[in-house]
Structure 1
Amino acid sequence: MPAEAGIQAGLRKNWIPAFAGMTVEAIFRSASSRHVLNPSAYSRGLFNILREFRDLMDEMSVGSPTPRIDGVAKVTGRAKFTGDLDFAGLLEAKILRSPLPHAVVKAIDPAKAEALPGVVAVLTRDDLKDIDPYYGNCLRDRAVVAIDRVRFVGEPVAVVAAANALTAEAALSLIDVQYTELPCVADIDAARAEGAPVVHEQQSGTGEFHDVAGVGERFGGNVCHREQCIKGNPDKAFADADEIIEETFEFPMIYQYAMEPHTAVARVTADGITLWSSSAHPFLVRSELAHMFHLPHSKVEVIVPFVGGAYGSKSYFKIEPLVVAIARKTGGRPVRVAQSIPESMLTTRRHSARMRIKTGVKRDGTLIAREAEVILDTGAYADNGPRVAKRAISRMIGPYKLDHCKVDVVALYTNTVPAGSMRSIGGPQTIWALESHMDTIAERLGFDPLEFRLRRLLRRGEVLKPGATPIDADLCAGTKAAVKPLDWAGAATPNGKGAGVAVGVSDSEAMPVSVALVRLLADGSVILSAGTTEVGQGARTILCQIAAQELALPVECVTMGGTDTLATPFDRSTGASRSTTVMGSAVKAAALELREQLVVAAAEALHTSTSAITLNDGCAIAGDKRLSYSKIVSAYFGMPGGEIIGRGTMRPGDGMGAQFPLFWETGMGGAEARVDSETGEIAIEKYMTVADVGKAINPPQVEGQDEGAAIQGLGHTLFESLIYENGQPLNANLIDYRVPRFGDLPKHFASALIENEDGPGPYGAKGMGESGIVSVAPAVGNAIARATGVRIRALPLTPERVWRALKEQRRGQ
């Protein structure tokens, strides 16, 4: 690359010993980093180089700290979210929700609401007879509005569309609903009890988008789904153990708080459905709506404006079927449902869980056998519960040398808000239990917990689970990096301050189905079309960087808009850390196909061979001849205008798509915490998060994703918990439900990226963004245990819970 050669020459003229052995890209990134850019810290020679060659370095889009392409629009307020959209005749809709956790809907009379001036339409169960009213990605077990029963507080019973939100809200109180209350299945203990009420008496049909064997099987009682994995012969192996250690851990219900609540606008006409939604899975929404309303896919258009965060809460289908159903009754006028935060907290959540784990060990620390049971509270409907159960398996086995293991996972129905996806499904729950348990084993056997892990972690190429892709990371290196800033030696004995470490390894569930188009326009600019939803993770910027790199263009020349299913090619989903690896590979393939056409066209225009052509800065170069991309397009078509198009596809069975998981997402955390023995308050003084990302295509964005995940993990570690009492939510609001704030950050908070360019994605990238959340709770919990000598096995680690544990310890002594 010319830029590479130029900078190498500059380095020879202005040699700086501190950069000996570093690649040009590493030097550039070091000098450009937001962490270390400080002229006084560098020799003047380096800045001479950067000034001389910075324009050339701009060619190196991948690996550079490219500013977010949507950043200015967001910070200036120009970005339009679904709630900002305005249409002629727009109606506002409000939802009447069940006040009871479990009841038969005996009768519903909307007449008074319909008569209220300003009300245009009211949707009840009586309006669902000409459609398939049930939806769901794993099981189609949930109705648009309640038909025969309500199964959780907050379940939609009716919808009112009116000229304004106040009128719609007033009309809700005029709808007469008669219920017969049923016994409530309040939690997993009630769900498992002998003679327990059954949340779903009839078996539901399977959804279109599950990839989990056994979905739809009738398990009986309140069981939504079961999973099991057996490796070796654990029953026999336990007999060879010198000691058997068993513990039970609890993980709370968590809400996937995002700044933008669930919002959607729908218009239904004779031409079909148009839906504007903050959905992370627009193509799956299109397919489900087409199924429900008996339309071809081509008659359902799903448009995704700017999205204000998701974290799994906007996966699959949440309010979209309901908004479309009410829009069918408004004579073509568009209808918007804009939920409040409390309403969204009654829409979806993360699974709460109980984990029992038993491990047989030798006195030398060898892990002999493990048996584990995971019980997930999936709420009133399946949502993504079966897939969460499936993913919990490998996370509970753990990334350690262990020949004999049995893990059982069950997802149970309860009369609470349905649990869906959230960052690293099944990961924070099981890794909290497993990594806390590993410290318990080390303590029981008299080993340092760090050294205990380092001796037993799987090495690159070793297999965690039968049939799975081998481990593709250096777990030991990441674990060492996580404790590097900590006072590990000083935390060896309980003195009120402790250090803890945890290792998280997750198998990505990314489905390898993505299509991308890259179009070179007549003026030499590029339009990238890809169905990935920008939910705040920076996907648009990353994908534009990939296209720019392959086409030898400044990234500013590449434009990528939002998703519109009528115009944008298909993408399976935005989730499971798949956008960079899967869609990024499709974008790279599309750009390469376009590049090949461009080189052929340039060779024809310049009357030379394709081998003589190089591309740089929007031009084709052959010797001393130079032709801009715009002139190449004109020459190709024989007149101004036209465009050259490249297409890229990822599908199962093709290269990366043939392996499962596509990659292992690894994240390590190291925490240093101080505990006030009088109040139980925890002060996290240091936290280090480490991610093996393969290749950081945009380092500041990658760091931001990992750090953001860790901050989110502080929530369920220290204070987040949705509280229910007899099926009634007690804190479904942001006053009583506490989420992390900047003031909650540790005094010293840092991240480190491991880049070996060994991932399956473009330039060796791996998916990331979820691993940072999984190790926080066990790292902090382990630090507290080492600080106090007390092991706490339930989250969150509130001051009261810690204080009570310390009090029990003193009482026991």
Structure 2
Amino acid sequence: MARQEFKFVGRSVHRVDGIEKVTGKAKFTGDLKIPGMLYGRILRSSYPHAGISSIDSSRAEALPGVAAVLTAADIGELDPYYNGRPVIAIRKVRYVGEPVAAVAAEDQETAEEALSLINVRYEELPAAVGLDAALAKGAPLIHENLKDNICGHEHVEKGNIEQGFAESDEIFEETFTFPMVYHYAMEPHSVIAEFNDEGIAVWSSAQHPFQVRGDIAKLFGLHPTKVRMVIPFLGGGFGSKSYTKFEPLVVALARKARRPVRICNSVTESMLTVRRHGARVRLKTGVKSDGTLMAREAEIHLDTGGYADNGPAVAIRAATRVLGPYRIPHIKTDAYAVYTNSGSAGSFRAIGAPQTIFACESQMDMIAAKLGIDPAELRLKNFLKKGEELRPKLRGMDANLASSMKKLVAASRWKRRSKKKGAAIGLGCGATNAGATPISVAMVRLQPDGTLTVFAGSTEMGQGVRTVLSQIIADELSLPLEAIQIGGTDTKVTPYDASTGSSRSTTLMGTAVLRAARDLKNQLLKIGAEAFRAKPGQIGLAEGAMICGEM
């Protein structure tokens, strides 16, 4: 079978949204203005851990230009929790920067002034900032209804760890630490919300609009069809805009104000909104003198912050990713997500991976140095082969790791360059299982004028997904890129997509778009066969035209 030649896929093309972005025509949430829109600001806690004795917002409410002040007293009839966190602080705060009150006013300056007029009385509580403090005996409980500060635990075991160490010639044990990191997307988090009798409309810098829609619907007791999420361009995400952030707070503020409200974080506020998990990884590995890995024991603690968010999911991934892509007969790993009095952590480019792969690969280099083995050879010796199982209940390895490594070693001139003293070259390997729900739905519609409209829920945040999807469609339907129109997500009309993350858009949404384009193509060929009174196999598409006969 002849290999299909592509005109667009696999080739460098101009981004379909490039001109919009370089000319400033592209609109981000912070650029939008909804009729009647108010400007919001959030009053944040200055304490890491404190009870809220009282909130007096009367002076702020009396300030001319202020439309509404939101506190926990305004959401008493709701079930106000999502992803383990409240819409706004209820009775206590658990980190510096936690929202305590919010103001909606006619302009940004009035909203800022109103914040200064809100009087919050706190009762400071002992704080557990960082892993050591949160795990210490008798540590303050971040959530008083729990017995400790653990919010998630994942255990992985295979073989007999004690036997593995007993059979090892050398045992290496080190503790590695990994800091909190902020994503620093160019665009801080931004949300506009409108609440009226018809339902809720939200414009947001959200990577997962359908998940956010579900959280908002549940919080406010509405069917998801009554919540509309509109996603314009995003100025970067990297996981920082995954899941629901402060969209429910803005909805609640708009509900009280009875007018649309926009809140745009500063960079500082976004740093308090989400970050990567800090981590401590104790890693113990047993090896034979020839470098064969025999046993690995890992204890991982992840600084999740004041609320769970997706901390338990990060712990689940970390417990596996610390193993690397290696054949280890005896393993025992425990990963813990830990509550601390700091801002909540979330997704950041392969959850649980950088923290644990850093530890795993650093130790592999230590092992190689001690045994006098080339680091690349040590890894090649221990790579899983295709089909081999990394851990129980996980599908076998689906890649030829050794082949890829050999190509990398040759192309990078590793053996020569790595021997130079102080050479700026290193080697690291990792394996990861897919982390996202494999559900994406797409729709393509051919208009009478020959243009094609694409409805796909993947969020464009600078990674080029609109261009990639356009390339796939253009090749399948033999259309010019200019004929394809693809916009942002609007859950009122866009089919469901589970999320934009975990490197899933090209593979999953790309597959959905391809299947939709093929379905359209088959319909066109059938129509063409009827029109030309020919067999479908005699009909083809070329450069936006339908042709009967030789092409």
TM-score bin (small chain): over 0.9
Is the 2:164–2:329 contact (alpha carbons within 8 Å) kept by the matching residues of 1?
Answer: no
Per-residue Cα deviation, 1:255-285 (whole angstroms, up to 9, x for no partner): 0110000001111111111110010011111
SS at match of 1:435: helix
Partner in structure 1 of residue 320 of structure 2? 394
**How many angstroms does 1:585 deviate by?**
1.0
Partner in structure 2 of residue 312 of structure 1? 239
Partner in structure 2 of residue 231 of structure 1? 158
SS at match of 1:451: helix
1:113, 1:605 → 2: CA distance? 71
Letter in 2 for 1:323: V
1:617, 1:177 → 2: CA distance? 66
Partner in structure 2 of residue 657 of structure 1? none
Is the 1:479–1:503 contact (alpha carbons within 8 Å) kept by the matching residues of 2?
Answer: no
Partner in structure 1 of residue 204 of structure 2? 277
Change (3 A) 1:293 1:248: same
Change (3 A) 1:117 1:586: same
RMSD: 1.7
Spell out the pairing of 1:167-186 with structure 2 (5 A cutoff).
Answer: 167-186=110-129
Partner in structure 2 of residue 643 of structure 1? none
The answer to whether residue 63 in structure 2 is matched with residue 116 in structure 1 is yes
Letter in 1 for 2:29: T
1:460, 1:591 → 2: CA distance? 33
Partner in structure 1 of residue 457 of structure 2? 531
Per-residue Cα deviation, 1:589-622 (whole angstroms, up to 9, x for no partner): 1111111111111111111121222222222222
1:451, 1:364 → 2: CA distance? 11
Is the 2:207–2:499 contact (alpha carbons within 8 Å) kept by the matching residues of 1?
Answer: yes
Report the number of matched residues.
Answer: 550
**How many angstroms does 1:97 deviate by?**
0.3
Partner in structure 2 of residue 291 of structure 1? 218
2:507, 2:418 → 1: CA distance? 39
**How many angstroms does 1:241 deviate by?**
1.1
1:315, 1:575 → 2: CA distance? 8
Is the 2:479–2:542 contact (alpha carbons within 8 Å) kept by the matching residues of 1?
Answer: yes
The answer to whether residue 331 in structure 2 is matched with residue 405 in structure 1 is yes
Gaps of 5+ in 2: none
Letter in 1 for 2:517: A
**How many angstroms does 1:492 deviate by?**
3.4
Spell out the pairing of 1:441-460 with structure 2 (5 A cutoff).
Answer: 441-460=367-386
1:74, 1:135 → 2: CA distance? 34
1:408, 1:432 → 2: CA distance? 17
Partner in structure 2 of residue 125 of structure 1? 72
Per-residue Cα deviation, 1:548-567 (whole angstroms, up to 9, x for no partner): 22212222211111100001
1:300, 1:132 → 2: CA distance? 17
**How many angstroms does 1:146 deviate by?**
0.6
Partner in structure 2 of residue 65 of structure 1? 12
**How many angstroms does 1:394 deviate by?**
2.1
1:314, 1:198 → 2: CA distance? 28
Spell out the pairing of 1:99-114 with structure 2 (5 A cutoff).
Answer: 99-114=46-61
Change (3 A) 1:272 1:614: same
Partner in structure 2 of residue 367 of structure 1? 293
2:122, 2:319 → 1: CA distance? 40
**How many angstroms does 1:418 deviate by?**
0.2
Letter in 1 for 2:293: L
1:344, 1:161 → 2: CA distance? 19
Percent of aligned pairs with the same amino acid: 54
Is the 1:119–1:161 contact (alpha carbons within 8 Å) kept by the matching residues of 2?
Answer: yes
**How many angstroms does 1:191 deviate by?**
1.1
SS at match of 1:500: coil
Residue 265 of structure 1 is aligned with which of 192, 195, 200?
192
Partner in structure 2 of residue 746 of structure 1? none
Spell out the pairing of 1:483-562 with structure 2 (5 A cutoff).
Answer: 483=409, 484-486=411-413, 488-489=415-416, 491-492=418-419, 495-497=421-423, 499-562=425-488
SS at match of 1:178: strand
Residue 244 of structure 1 is aligned with which of 167, 171, 186?
171
2:112, 2:424 → 1: CA distance? 52
Spell out the pairing of 1:530-609 with structure 2 (5 A cutoff).
Answer: 530-609=456-535
1:423, 1:63 → 2: CA distance? 24
SS at match of 2:444: strand
2:13, 2:118 → 1: CA distance? 54
2:516, 2:163 → 1: CA distance? 53
Spell out the pairing of 1:620-699 with structure 2 (5 A cutoff).
Answer: 620-623=546-549
**How many angstroms does 1:120 deviate by?**
0.8
Gaps of 5+ in 1: 5-22, 26-58, 204-219, 627-813
Per-residue Cα deviation, 1:615-665 (whole angstroms, up to 9, x for no partner): 2222222226x9xxxxxxxxxxxxxxxxxxxxxxxxxxxxxxxxxxxxxxx
Partner in structure 1 of residue 401 of structure 2? 475
Is the 2:292–2:381 contact (alpha carbons within 8 Å) kept by the matching residues of 1?
Answer: no
Partner in structure 2 of residue 614 of structure 1? 540
Letter in 2 for 1:451: E
**How many angstroms does 1:86 deviate by?**
1.5
1:379, 1:232 → 2: CA distance? 34
**How many angstroms does 1:520 deviate by?**
1.0
Residue 464 of structure 1 is aligned with which of 390, 400, 413?
390
**How many angstroms does 1:24 deviate by?**
9.6
SS at match of 1:321: helix
SS at match of 2:312: helix
Residue 98 of structure 2 is aligned with which of 134, 149, 155?
155
Per-residue Cα deviation, 1:447-487 (whole angstroms, up to 9, x for no partner): 11121112222233322222323222232343344444356
